[in-house]
Structure 1
Amino acid sequence: MATVALVGTLDTKGVEYGRLRDHLHRHGIETILIDTGALGEPRVRPDISHAEVASAAGVDLARLQEQERGAAVSAMARGATAVVLDLFADGRLHGVLALGGSGGTSMATQVMRALPIGVPKLMVSSMASGNVAHYVGASDITLMYSVVDIAGINRISAPLLANAADAMAGMAEGYARGPRAVRAADLLAEGRPLVAASMAGVTTAGVDAARERLTELGYEVLVFHASGSGGRSLEALAGQGLFAGVLDLTLSELADDLVGGILTAGPDRLQAAGLRGVPQVVSLGALDMVKFGPLDSLPAEFHDRHVRVHNPSITVIRTTAQECAELGRRVAAKLRTATGPTAVFAPLRGLSTLGDPGGPYHDPHADAALVAALSAGLNNTNVEFRTFDTHFNDPEFGQAAADRLHEMIVGQSGSNAATA
């Protein structure tokens, strides 16, 4: 029988959690109700009390109640994470369901992020319609917007909670029939060697050519969308040593980080593979643009740029020669710290579909500033630097990058890493 952990503050959301529990029971799902509310008494009886959760964090509940709310929230999140991981290790967990506002969402998603990819995770939150990157991280958490605050059962919250319970029941039952947790050890031990690749819509043709070539060579290629969250996921998994190699061809998130766009992956992008010693081939895909939200949200300081509406939700601007030079210096600085085989492939005839010759973002001067700064920054290093008289999306460019990565992987392993 499938079992779902319900993780929440029962001193404030007990009635709502009771509704979720009862609905899951009608589906034949067992539940484990875990109380993370440190301050008050639960409004519904838990299966694992707040005192037990505090103890799992190594603290006494009474002493915790004397501390500030932030410290209490952090401790209860740690304790609940330990409790849930123990349940998972014992084979007693087939999903996690939670609801809450900012505090409850922060605690519950911390618990969820600790579980492997593939374990069902559903968060019903009043925060789910805003910036949720810090809640989801590199995990596979499903978020459901609660529309109204989690404050009682009403004609809006009742059907939404029912939907959440129905969704979790289905996911948990499916998981119980055949666990689909994606563990690092399993990824490393089973099947073809894994390669990570970064891609955006404007670099798809080039990356697809590389992906197809690597597949022919015997690799399984995981493609990460250069959307901020995609870059963070790539970095997190590369840091865990899951990849035989990384084909980091699309670096547009670095441009957003520099200029203030909305799809930044943060300052640590383009570092994990190098620090881990993973072979990597890096290129400059989509560094000719920065992405913002809808057109009416574009900051006034950029109105005089080459502005293009990519879709109703995304507006892009062209990076300047000065910004491109700084990006070249930043990429070089990151790659200089690499401890494994690293190569940079720089196409000279455009970095994206918008940068095609004759295209709206075709700017040889800006692209040249990028390449020159990058080349200078990598001078006298062990990083291989090559230029190609092609466009990024030309098939021969992607195939050359794939072939070089394969050579680096085989060279590092000392034997054929994949079957040609």
Structure 2
Amino acid sequence: MRVIHVVGTADTKGEELAYLRDLIAADGQQAVIVDIGTRAPSIAVDIAAEDIASCHPDGEGAVLGGSDRGAAVSAMGTAFAEWCRRHSGEISGMIAVGGGGGTSMACAGMRELPYGVPKIMVSTLASGDTAPYVGTSDIVMAPSVTDIAGLNQLSRVILSNSAHALVGAISASSPAAVDDKIAIGLTMFGVTTACVNAITERLDERYDCLVFHATGTGGRSMERLLEQQFMSGLVDITTTEIADLLFGGVLAADPDRLDVVARTGAPWVGSVGALDMVNFWAPDTVPSKYRGRTFYEHNPNVTLMRTTAEENADMGRWIGRKLNACHGPVRLLLPEKGVSALDIEGGAFWDPEADAALYDTLRDTIEDKARLVFLPCHINDPAFAEAAANTFQDLMEP
């Protein structure tokens, strides 16, 4: 039976956990308290910390009983993540409360739950940089406003709102499926929007097109969904996250970018969209080693740096080696007249020599030359979108 799981450190957050459980029960839902604390609980719990700790790869002793709190928190996070993987089928929704340590441990488990399972983290850290906690998941972070140190007239309201929001998400009927189209993923950036929109229009009749913003998190989310078989193929036009990974940008891919394509053998049609740029925040955040480079101010908080011929050659080798490891149907489409809205004749990032370095290196590195498709057009030209859509459909046919 699937039930709501109320998660936290029952040694220090017992009062709040019991309050959340009672609110959920008053709404007619069944809830259980899960203890991820490393000391004796102050309330009765349904799933004990020992049960969670036993899921650690090195056993319960690696989590409980030590004197180093930091090590215990890290180990409990690892154990809770594994516990959630094993028990995800029993969880209708999850709500957690915590400060720094509690947020880290609870979110480690929440990130392992499937997309669509409601997850709310009430945290003292929710108004800051939540990327390390949310990752590629759909966790909702709710600021606790006050510290989570006992109930008061404000914390009761915050916790009540969060509990009722979770119950509402669980109680509401799921959106009805509007069709039985196969889901596919596409990557887009502002400078490749015209291309990806045109591809989507061409494929939408046959496929459910999920477009991901190529901001690092977007690429990771897309590849996670492919790994989970939620999607059946990728039209990976905008691989700009690789430039940020290799050259210190702020929207970087993980080093395992494209590895899931090799593991799954899924159809993949990709391109080099926005590899002409590395992303930084405001101008004063650009590393000093890049002084004198060509920059474009996208807005006051986003600064783009044009990649050089040498950097493009590095990216060509990196991408080529990744694609050589893929054994499924793969095609890399190369627009010979520019890779972004800025890399166009007369544009701020127009640099044919840099693009040529990328293409020459890809040609030299990729072993199966049939995987390379050179197109005499710009990436945002209708002809490129048509070629990408047709190529993808050809790869999907078998």
Question: What TM-score comes out, normalization by structure 2 length?
Answer: 0.89
Per-residue deviation, residues 366-402 of structure 1 (Å, max 9, x unmatched): 1121111111112x42551121111101111011011
Q: Is the partner of 2:21 in helix, strand or coil?
A: helix
Match of 1:12 in 2: 12
SS in 2 for 1:310: strand
How far is 1:314 from its partner? 2.0
In the alignment, is residue 126 of structure 1 matched against residue 89 of structure 2? no
Determine if contact 1:77/1:107 at 8 Å carries over to the other structure: yes
Letter in 2 for 1:326: D
In the alignment, is the contact (CA less than 8 A) between 1:342 and 1:383 conserved in 2? Answer: no
The corresponding residue for 1:187 is none
Given candidates 373, 380, 388, the residue that maps to 1:401 is 388
Q: Percent of counterpart pairs with the same letter?
A: 42
Which of 1 and 2 has higher RCO (CA within 8 Å, sep 6+)? 1
Kindly provide the amino acid, as one letter, of the partner of residue 196 in structure 1. Answer: G
Q: 1:82 to 1:266 in 2, by over 3 A?
A: closer
Aligned to 1:313: 301
**Correspondent of 1:211 among 200, 222, 229:** 200
SS at match of 1:285: coil
Give the equivalent residue in structure 1 for 2:31: 31
- Is the Cα contact below 8 Å between 1:34 and 1:80 reproduced in 2? no
The separation in 2 between residues aligned to 1:286 and 1:223, in whole angstroms, is: 16
Task: Kindly indicate whether the alpha-carbon contact (under 8 Å) linking 1:2 and 1:29 is maintained by their aligned counterparts in 2.
Answer: no
Among 231, 251, 257, the alignment partner of 1:243 is 231
Matched, 1:202 2:201: no
2:38·2:63 contact (CA, 8 Å) conserved in 1?
Answer: no
Which residue number corresponds to residue 48 of structure 2?
49
Q: Is 2:270 the counterpart of 1:282?
A: yes
| Number of the residue aligned with 2:102 | 104
Alpha carbons of structure 1 residues 369 and 119: separation in structure 2 relative to 1, 3 Å: same
User: In structure 2, what is the Cα distance between the partners aligned to 1:303 and 1:13?
Assistant: 50
Structure 1 residue runs of 5 or longer lacking an equivalent are 183-189, 414-420
Change (3 A) 1:86 1:228: closer
Q: 1:384 aligns with which of 358, 368, 371?
A: 371
Amino acid at match of 2:9: T
Superposition deviation, residue 142 in structure 1: 1.2
Offset at 1:74? 5.1
1:270 maps to 258
Query: For 1:153-164, what aligned pairs fall within 5 Å after superposition?
Result: 153=151, 157-164=155-162
Structure 1 Cα separation of the partners of residues 246 and 163 of structure 2: 42
| Shift in CA distance, 391/96, structure 1 to aligned 2, threshold 3 Å | same
How far residue 19 of structure 1 moved from its aligned partner, in angstroms, is 3.5
Between the aligned partners of 2:306 and 2:221, the Cα distance in structure 1 is 26
Whole-angstrom distance in 1 between the partners of 2:333 and 2:344:
17
> Distance between the aligned counterparts of 2:61 and 2:321, measured in 1?
47
1:185 matched to which residue of 2? none
CA distance in 2 between counterparts of 1:398 and 1:324 reads: 23
Q: How many angstroms apart in 1 are the aligned matches of 2:65 and 2:175?
A: 38
1:297 Cα deviation from its structure 2 partner: 2.3
Three-state SS of the structure 2 residue aligned to 1:355 is coil
Q: CA 1:306/1:241 → structure 2, altered by over 3 Å: closer, same or farther? A: same
Q: Equivalent residue for 2:342?
A: 354
Q: Which runs of 5+ in 2 are unaligned?
A: none
Aligned-partner residue type, residue 395 of structure 2: M
The number of aligned residues is: 396
> SS at the partner of 1:94?
strand
- Specify the alignment match of 1:417 in structure 2: none
What is the RMSD of the two structures over their aligned residues, measured on CA atoms? 2.9
Amino acid at match of 1:199: M
Corresponding residue for 2:221? 233
